[in-house]
Structure 1
Amino acid sequence: MAAWLGLMSGTSMDSVDAVLVSFRDGQVEMHGSHAQSYPTDLRQRLLLASQNQATPDDLGELDTRVGQLFASAAQAVIAKAGLAPEQIRAIGSHGQTLRHQPTGSAPFSLQIGNPAIIAEACGILTVADFRRRDVAAGGQGAPLVPAFHQAFFGSRSENRCILNLGGIANITWLPADAHATVFGFDTGPANALLDAWCQHQTGRAYDADGHWAAEGTVDEALLEDMLSDAYFDRPAPKSTGKERFNLDWLKTVLTRHPGLAPEDVQRTLLELTAQSIARQLPEPGADTVYVCGGGTRNPLLMAALARALAPARLASTEALGLAPEWVEPVAFAWLAKQAVEGKPGNLPEVTGARGPRILGALYPA
């Protein structure tokens, strides 16, 4: 059975997640996994580049360095699994998003991490650049994981919502009714603002286990002000990123709420994540919301979500057979499989594209 390798790094820019998997009869078989941390200097340069603080020389160098890091992650998971390159059909590399602007007169979604470097280093066909074809077809180019969610997590016995908590949160609605429409979209910030405020105030890249937020209390006026952002009321299809929800956005809102303790802001940002998700779920709600992504490691955030989403049950995708930290890289391994087999990878109902499209460009071994 062919193995497929998936590589993913999200908007949090904390690590490159790599998996080796096989797909059969709607099931995922894991052969190996690996998380490759970003060097601190590289992460800082990527953050600056994502804020438009980079020269063409910077972008070219970053494209190479990220490609090298992705190749290293791929080689590490191959070594862990004990597979030979010829046993792996293809690598699916999401790359590192630097900018996502899917609307306007010249829409685009920019990911770096030179896939030619990955193909050359690993000697394996590499599929990359998944988002641009959907954007070219009039879509948002995001989220792309709902097609994978539909294929592997759908149920005829319960209405399910798959919730990914990365830097940005996105949902996939999987109705039990086979005739109902599967849909999904980015709900807004998950960890992006929490991480940005924590870095700004404490120098730490993130609030481990939500300990700092736990020292604060929710400021209701600040919460409702943030929730009044027009993005939350915008109808789907829609997607967003740190281009909108960033430290400058937060600082602008905070000018209307002077004197708040930093820990109260952090706690309110956590509640913003929970409430913005809960308020955008369809009615009637899901029977179960299955959560994946880095936010699952924050118990305070998970508790806030459980309260906000009630009476829906909150569970990890572990209950569906896939650990929450590996759902997205597995999805890009599957998207590589779709591309190699000439099958669509997008859901037009999700992205708004004019129709199904084969996603990704192929870089031969």
Structure 2
Amino acid sequence: MKYVIGLMSGTSLDGVDAALIRTDGERIAEFGVGETRDYGKAERAVLQAAVDTALAWNFQGEMPDFSAAAAVLTASHAELVEAVIAEAGLTAGQISLVGFHGQTVLHRAPAGRQQGRTCQIGDGQALADRLGVDVVYDFRSPDMAGGGQGAPLAPLYHAALVAQGQLELPLAVVNLGGVANVTWLAPDTDPIAFDTGPANGLIDAWCQQRLGTSHDSNGELAARGKIDPAALKALMKHPFFAKAPPKSLDRWDFSLDPVQHLGDADGAATLTAFTARTVAAAIDQLGQPGRILATGGGRHNPVLMRMMGEAMGVRPEAVERVGWRGDLLEAEAFAWLAARVAAGLPTSIPSTTGVSRPTCGGLIAHPRS
């Protein structure tokens, strides 16, 4: 069992989460300190500029210079790791690994015979040098090199938590981040996972555009609005939903165009219903779970949670109901995945990403003296 710190910075660009666990890459012996560090306005601007540059690049031609954004990202992550180590009463020498996801600035899923591509910025070697700890990074590239989607990567961790907690199956875990994804767990079968569509990404973008706020706090804007059936129908026509899993998304694969003619509240209500119905449609393809556990920021939105329950016929529960830490779950996952990389264990399998065979993904940076 090793002390490992996992790091996660989501596509919302709101901040970075860090979680300390003690694990061997299979079982979790201890859930330690967890912390979140919000990005400052200047940091967020640099990261958003990197996303904008990446979208314009779109893997065409020479890769842009992301070094300025990578330096900001890496420094912010290092500060948070140092804070977690101090709060835990440990030293850097007692930490075996850091799992560093980096920041996704561009993701393109495989298309036909064309291999998918992904770009996460962040300097794993610089982080290892500063911390004096081995850093596991670039988790997604090996999966995509094997024909996989490169996402989602947390499902095997979900499966480990469910097995360790001896939770009754079948069960679905829904992650409501910028993009939504589902992990389906049933008896005597491998986990099945895929992205289902937008979660908070479009709602956040709508609030930023219309109100200058980062998100719809407690779903208050959506609660005041009415769902527009025509706009919702237009959103549901996106070709992603006709694809069979495994499948993955970039947060920016969807547009606000179908709701631009709506008022602020009606647009928020329609986008929230869009997320709820696409999650429900995805789970319906898999079966009828006895329980649906929700993680990610979207679980804090009571309007979204209510709409999901109405669409699915099973009311989703926040993962805290089973003792999980919803705000830290993805950071924990990348700590656990880092331990698996160090042990040579699979981090993705065909049924979670479509990779051709179980794959151990990630590079290890050792501190340079």
Please give the TM-score of this superposition, normalised by the length of structure 1: 0.92
- Aligned match of 1:59: 66
Give secondary structure in 1 for the equivalent of 2:364: strand
8 Å contact kept, 1:51–1:243: no
Q: State how far apart, in whole Å, the 2-side matches of 1:215 and 1:69 are.
A: 37
2:178 paired with 1:167: yes
Q: Is the 8 A contact 2:53 2:64 kept in 1?
A: no
- Alignment pair present for 1:230 and 2:233: no
**In structure 2, what residue type is equivalent to 1:110?**
C
Counterparts of 1:37-48 in structure 2, within 5 Å, are 37-48=38-49
Q: Secondary structure at the match of 1:200?
A: helix
Tell me which residue corresponds to 2:306. Answer: 303
Take 2:154 and 2:312, find their aligned partners in 1: how far apart are those partners? 22
* 2: CA distance, partners of 1:119 / 1:147: 26
> Is 1:50 the counterpart of 2:59 in the alignment?
no
Number of the residue aligned with 1:114? 123
2:219 corresponds in structure 1 to 210
CA distance in 2, matches of 1:157, 1:242: 32
Match of 1:188 among 174, 178, 197: 197
Shift of 1:28: 5.1
Does residue 1:339 correspond to 2:341, yes or no? yes
Provide the C-alpha distance between the structure 1 equivalents of 2:76 and 2:353, rounded to a whole number of angstroms. Answer: 29
Q: Is the 8 A contact 2:178 2:199 kept in 1?
A: yes
SS of residue paired to 1:147 = helix
- Structure 1 gaps of 5+ residues are none
Does residue 148 (structure 1) correspond to residue 167 (structure 2)? The answer is no
Does the aligned pair in 2 maintain the 1:63–1:112 contact within 8 Å?
yes
Distance, in Å, in 1 between the alignment partners of 2:210 and 2:194 is 30
How far is 1:184 from its partner?
Answer: 0.6
Residue ranges of structure 2 left out of the alignment (5+ in a row) = 58-62
* Number of residue pairs matched by the alignment: 355
| Pairing 1:15–2:6 present | no
Question: 1:90-126: CA deviations, max 9, x gaps?
Answer: 0001110000013243531110111112111211100
Distance apart, 1:243 and its partner CA: 3.1
d(CA) in 2 for partners of 1:226 and 1:14? 26
Deviation at 1:156, TM superposition (A): 6.9
Kept in 2, the 8 Å contact 1:135–1:353? The answer is: yes
Per-residue Cα deviation, 1:228-265 (whole angstroms, up to 9, x for no partner): 111112100100022312xxx212x247xx4x212101
Structure 2 Cα separation of the partners of residues 50 and 332 of structure 1: 22
Q: One-letter code of the match for 1:189?
A: P
Which residue is equivalent to 1:317?
Answer: 319
Shift of 1:159: 0.7
- Percentage of identical aligned residues: 35
Q: Secondary structure at the match of 1:325?
A: coil
Structure 2 CA distance, aligned partners of 1:23 and 1:45? 34
Q: Which residue of structure 2 lines up, in the alignment, with residue 126 of structure 1?
A: 135
